[in-house]
């Protein structure tokens, strides 16, 4: 058994995409990557933020919104999880809200039976202004309000999305988890500066694995995303990584490694502040 209460080990995968504005085309492009991950033994596959819609305008995802429980992206996730018999996490899907101008950016977890078992709505909304680059997700996204975990074969898994990575208190609230998931679409600028530092910090301070699936390349809308989908172990060591372009990162989540790190350096038991 692992330190987090699951099986000894499982293989996991992060899918990296360079998505565009056509939902159907994006889903058609990502399915073979999921299948490839499964063929390499992955039992849990994470897709990046905006895997189904990375539009020319921020409002494009609002136009592609789906009612909670049904829609092209949700039906796709359910079908592929069931057909491939794996845990499949759709990085984000735009879910409709009462405000017709905004959506929830929801990370959806489907089990090997194709059933949705968890939903996390992105809490922290990205804003950035440097030169010609300007982003403000709050204009089109309604913030979530609570962290979410789910039980997997390897133990408890904590959910987050992209910009959440800069807010360690979210991950601390998850307590004893074996794995943290970070579907993302980091910009080239912020990714080059902070991506690896932040991911390693979250793994080290929580003494767990971190799996990050990213958008990675030049998109049709002219935006460049950083890529570098990666699996990092509890010591902060990179297990597997893909720099740019479409592809799959596959690696092992080892319960014995979690237990060893926590035994050698029992930092989690030394916490004094809530």
Provide the domain count of the chain. 1
Helix (H, G, I), strand (E, B) or coil at 146: coil
pLDDT at 3 over 50: no
Asked, for residue 253, whether it belongs to a domain, the answer is yes
Query: How would residue 135 be classed by pLDDT, with cut points 50, 70 and 90?
Result: confident
Number of C-beta neighbours around residue 143 at 10 A: 14
Asked, for residue 2, whether it belongs to a domain, the answer is no
pLDDT at 96 over 70: yes
Q: How far apart are CA 225 and CA 213, in angstroms?
A: 12
Asked, for residue 4, whether it belongs to a domain, the answer is no
Q: Which one of the listed residues 61, 137, 162, 200 is annotated catalytic? A: 162
What is the predicted pLDDT for the residue at 4? 46
CB 224 within 8 A of CB 11: no
Mean pLDDT of 138-157: 97
pLDDT at 2 over 90: no
CB 141 within 8 A of CB 92: no
Per-residue pLDDT tens over the stretch 9-46: 999 999 999 999 999 999 999 999 999 999 999 999 99
CB 202 within 8 A of CB 168: yes
Q: How far apart are CA 141 and CA 49, in angstroms?
A: 13
Per-residue pLDDT tens over the stretch 114-131: 999 999 999 999 988 887
pLDDT at 1 over 60: no
Query: How would residue 76 be classed by pLDDT, with cut points 50, 70 and 90?
Result: very high
Q: Which one of the listed residues 61, 66, 122, 200 is annotated catalytic? A: 122
Would you call 162 a catalytic residue per the annotation?
yes
Q: How far apart are CA 220 and CA 18, in angstroms?
A: 9
* Mean pLDDT over the full length of the chain: 95
What is the predicted pLDDT for the residue at 6? 60
Domain around 233: 9-265
Q: What is this structure's pTM?
A: 0.96
Asked, for residue 271, whether it belongs to a domain, the answer is no
Asked, for residue 226, whether it belongs to a domain, the answer is yes
Mean pLDDT of 56-80: 97
CATH code, domain with 85? 3.60.110.10
Asked, for residue 24, whether it belongs to a domain, the answer is yes
Asked, for residue 51, whether it belongs to a domain, the answer is yes
Instruction: Specify the pairing of strand 179-181 against strand 149-152.
Output: unpaired
Asked, for residue 28, whether it belongs to a domain, the answer is yes
């Amino acid at each position: 058994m692992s330190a987090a209460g699951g099986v000894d080990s499982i293989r996991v995968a992060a899918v990296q995409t360079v998505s565009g504005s056509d939902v159907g085309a994006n889903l058609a492009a990502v399915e073979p990557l999921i299948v490839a991950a499964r063929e390499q033994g992955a039992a849990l596959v994470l897709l990046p933020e905006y895997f189904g819609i990375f539009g020319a305008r921020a409002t494009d995802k609002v136009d592609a919104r789906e009612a909670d429980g049904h829609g092209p992206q949700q039906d796709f996730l359910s079908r592929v999880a069931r057909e491939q018999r794996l845990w499949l996490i759709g990085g984000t899907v735009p879910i409709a809200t009462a405000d017709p101008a905004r959506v929830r950016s929801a990370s959806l977890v489907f089990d090997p039976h194709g059933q949705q078992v968890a939903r996390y709505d992105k809490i922290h909304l990205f804003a950035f202004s440097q030169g010609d680059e300007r982003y403000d997700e709050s204009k089109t996204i309604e913030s979530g309000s609570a962290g979410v975990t789910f039980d997997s074969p390897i133990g408890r898994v904590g959910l987050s999305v992209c910009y959440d990575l800069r807010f360690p208190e979210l991950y601390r609230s998850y307590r004893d988890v074996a794995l943290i998931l970070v579907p993302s679409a980091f910009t080239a600028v912020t990714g080059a500066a902070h991506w690896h530092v932040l991911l390693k910090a979250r793994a080290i301070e929580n003494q767990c694995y971190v799996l990050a699936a990213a958008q990675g390349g030049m998109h049709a809308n002219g935006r460049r995303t950083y890529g570098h989908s990666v699996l990092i172990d509890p010591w902060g060591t990179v297990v597997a990584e893909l720099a740019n372009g479409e592809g799959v990162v596959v690696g092992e989540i080892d319960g014995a490694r979690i237990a060893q790190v926590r035994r050698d350096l029992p930092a989690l038991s030394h916490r004094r502040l809530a």
